[in-house]
């Protein structure tokens, strides 16, 4: 019997974490002595692993300063979470969608640029921890769009690429889906535009969780 697997990105797809990400990146760049990135540019790199994101935001700078920014970001983000200031609200309709998919027999997974700790905390805060059979993060894999996270999720679920779908809000997600041989569906409530998602390989772009549910039927 075939297994249906839906692999979700996290930031920009399940939750809207842009405010906290931008704040932590600004703190990190300030502490590392790097030029502050524009918030629009920060939103554009959400989904990449942290070291890769910093390299994109500070190209050509001293690798030691980039590493300092990476460590400062981790500290700032962790402090925000520990102090109760972290903002990662679920997008409206996502909780219902996850329940619908589980009820219809889908297995669910997450592939994200977050850390293990960050993803575990995020899902727990929304009472979603028990819904996913595989959690893949940047702690254990190359940055998107490398397909390693997706391949690990498929292995965990014993799912075939042709029976699986990658759902995300960035071109990194769509490119990863193509590299992993799975169906690519974008969502338009995240950080890259619908046109960009289609150009990167999305066969469809959902305009709401309800629309996404319809696309998965």
pLDDT digits (tens, 9 = 90+) for 56-95: 999 999 999 999 999 999 999 999 989 989 999 999 999 9
Domain map (residue ranges) of the chain: 5-16+89-215, 18-82
**Nearest to 56, CA basis, from 217, 175, 172:** 172
**Per-position b or e across 129-142, b if 16+ CB within 10 A of its CB:** eebbbbbbbbeebe
Q: What is the phi-psi region of residue 181: left when phi exceeds 0, alpha when psi lies from -120 to 50, beta otherwise?
A: left
Rounded-to-integer distance, Cα 187 and Cα 170, Å:
8
Return the half-sphere exposure (C-beta side, CA atoms, 13 A cut-off) of residue 147: 17
Q: Which of 16-20, 108-112, 149-153 has the lowest mean pLDDT?
A: 16-20
- What average pLDDT does range 166-171 have in this prediction? 98
Write out the catalytic residue numbers. 9, 11
Q: Is the Cβ–Cβ distance between 184 and 177 less than 8 Å? A: yes
Q: Is the pTM of the predicted complex or chain greater than 0.75?
A: yes
The pLDDT, as a whole number, for residue 2 is: 82
Q: To the nearest whole number, what is the mean pLDDT of the chain?
A: 96
The architecture that CATH gives domain 5-16+89-215 is 3-Layer(aba) Sandwich (3.40)
Does residue 1 surpass a pLDDT of 80?
A: no
Q: Does domain 18-82 have CATH number 1.10.357?
A: no
Rounded-to-integer distance, Cα 24 and Cα 74, Å:
8
Does residue 124 surpass a pLDDT of 70?
A: yes
**Nearest to 109, CA basis, from 163, 150, 70:** 150
Q: Is the Cβ–Cβ distance between 191 and 12 less than 8 Å? A: yes
Backbone angles phi, psi at 25, to 5 degrees: -70, -40
Does residue 212 surpass a pLDDT of 70?
A: yes
User: Strand pairing partners for 205?
Assistant: 186
């Amino acid at each position: 019997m075939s297994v249906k697997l839906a692999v979700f990105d996290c930031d920009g797809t399940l939750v809207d974490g842009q405010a906290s990400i931008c704040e932590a990146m600004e703190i990190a760049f300030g502490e590392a002595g790097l030029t502050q990135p524009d918030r629009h540019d920060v939103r554009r790199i959400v989904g990449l692993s942290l070291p890769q994101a910093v390299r994109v935001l500070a190209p050509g700078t001293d690798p030691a300063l980039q590493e300092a920014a990476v460590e400062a970001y981790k500290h700032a983000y962790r402090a925000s979470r520990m102090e109760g200031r972290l903002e990662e609200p679920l997008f409206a309709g996502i909780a219902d969608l996850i329940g619908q998919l589980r009820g219809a027999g889908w297995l669910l997974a997450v592939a994200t640029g977050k850390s293990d700790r960050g993803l575990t905390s995020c899902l727990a805060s929304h009472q979603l921890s028990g819904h996913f059979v595989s959690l893949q993060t940047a702690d254990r894999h190359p940055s998107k769009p490398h397909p390693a996270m997706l391949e690990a999720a498929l292995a965990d679920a014993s799912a075939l690429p042709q029976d699986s779908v990658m759902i995300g809000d960035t071109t990194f997600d769509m490119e990863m889906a193509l590299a992993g041989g799975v169906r690519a569906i974008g969502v338009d409530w995240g950080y890259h535009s619908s046109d960009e998602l289609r150009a990167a390989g999305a066969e469809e772009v959902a305009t709401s969780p309800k629309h996404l549910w319809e696309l998965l039927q």
